Amino acid sequence: MLQFGKFIMSRALLAALTLVIISLVVFTLMELVPGDCAERYLAFKNTQGSGISVEDIENERRRLGLDKPFAQRWGLWIVDAFRGEFGESCILRVDIALLLGTKFWLSLGICLASLALAYLIAIPVGIISAATNNPYLNNGLKLVSYLGLAIPNFLLALMVMLFSTIYFGDTLTGLFSKEYRDAAWDMDKFVDLLKHAWLPIFILGWSATAFALQTVRALMSDEIGKLYVTAAAARGVYGRKLLWRYPARHALAPIVNSLGFDLNRVFNELPIVALILTLTDAGALLIEALARSNDQQLAGAIIFLLTGSIVALNFFTDVLLAILDPRIRKSILN
């Protein structure tokens, strides 16, 4: 047990270290952007009519602590970030954590849901297709995979929009109906969310499913060809037990491994889909903040949060694999 605890600790440390490196990259990029927070804020105020002077900018800089050396500012930023605090948005002067709040969790929820959908479909279908070797099923799957690869999510979203506008004269946009948009969270609001969220989950899941199908099928094909499956058949094991207990169980390990990478992919697809389906005018997604705000504090925080989710997922899958796969488990315990 103790060794297992040590393993978890070491993985957690690794995750933390990765986050630190990423924070450095993100922070550096934030710094490289021309015009710092103070200038931006005051430029913004300028467009609103109040005049500013160089001295105002200097004062603002000192107030924000922007005159301290790079390393110190980075240190402070990373420590705060780990606590979940990202300071204030440059332009809006609102606490970022407050601003992002539910938006981040909603986005994460939608992405994870689409991944879950993808695997819920891909695992049974992929396994059965590899096992039966039915030519129709195989070709059908190939077609679906290629379609999923060739039609990127945002195009699919566009086509769905086109379709629904022509035939329904209505657009299926937004994450919430008007009544619930700013309401407090309760069961009804959640149900409303589900009613609207199925579309982005479906669209995001589209290419994730195609990808997952191919992967599951290839892995299963590989495993089925291995000697231990023949040996099990030679022992009299047959039917579903032969399929699930032997090749399927072993094919799933690499899939668990790849979950972090899958989440990365979905995060990549989320912004565009969100924009097309105008999920943002419900103010529900953080991607709008990223694209429109022109605010590097906010941008940095968002990137860090997204990457942090992936790192966290990788950590969990590492631990999960260690529990499930006896090879890893035993090598840890020794």
Closer to another protein at the Cβ: 33 or 94? 33
CA–CA distance, 187 with 135 (Å, rounded to integer): 46
**Stretch 235-294 residues interacting with another protein (CB under 8 A):** 235-239, 242, 245-246, 249-250, 253, 260, 264, 267-269, 271-272, 275-276, 278, 287, 290-294
- The answer to the question of residue 22 lying near another protein (CB under 8 A) is yes
CA–CA distance, 37 with 264 (Å, rounded to integer): 29
**Stretch 148-177 residues interacting with another protein (CB under 8 A):** 149-152, 154-155, 158-159, 161-162, 165-166, 171
**CB neighbourhood size of 44 (10 A):** 17
**Stretch 89-128 residues interacting with another protein (CB under 8 A):** none
- Choosing from 146, 185, 190, 244, the residue that interacts with another protein (CB under 8 A) is 146
Question: Closest Cα partner for 104 from 241, 250, 307?
Answer: 307
Q: Which amino acid is at 239?
A: G
- The answer to the question of residue 230 lying near another protein (CB under 8 A) is yes
Closer to another protein at the Cβ: 93 or 240? 240
CB of 128 vs another protein, minimal distance in Å: 16
CB of 164 vs another protein, minimal distance in Å: 9
**Stretch 24-53 residues interacting with another protein (CB under 8 A):** 25-26, 29, 33-34
The answer to whether the beta carbons of residues 289 and 302 sit under 8 Å apart is yes
CB of 18 vs another protein, minimal distance in Å: 5
* Stretch touching another protein by CB under 8 A, among 5-13, 52-60, 68-76, 146-154: 146-154
CB of 33 vs another protein, minimal distance in Å: 5
Q: Which amino acid is at 194?
A: L
CB of 52 vs another protein, minimal distance in Å: 19
Alpha-carbon separation of residue 153 from 19, 89, 110, 174, 189 (angstroms): 29, 31, 14, 17, 27
CA–CA distance, 255 with 260 (Å, rounded to integer): 10
CA–CA distance, 206 with 151 (Å, rounded to integer): 9
CB of 276 vs another protein, minimal distance in Å: 6
- The answer to the question of residue 6 lying near another protein (CB under 8 A) is no
DSSP secondary structure string, 118-139? HHHHHHHHHHHHHHH--HHHHH
CB of 167 vs another protein, minimal distance in Å: 11
State whether residue 327 is helix, strand or coil.
helix
Backbone angles phi, psi at 265, to 5 degrees: -65, -45
Cα 198 versus chain centre, distance? 17
User: Dihedral through CA 108, CA 110, CA 113, CA 114, nearest 10?
Assistant: -110
Closer to another protein at the Cβ: 187 or 334? 334
CB of 320 vs another protein, minimal distance in Å: 14
**Stretch 289-328 residues interacting with another protein (CB under 8 A):** 290-294, 296, 299-300, 302-303, 306-307, 310-311, 314, 324-327
State whether residue 96 is helix, strand or coil.
helix
Report how many residues bind another protein under the rule CB under 8 A: 74
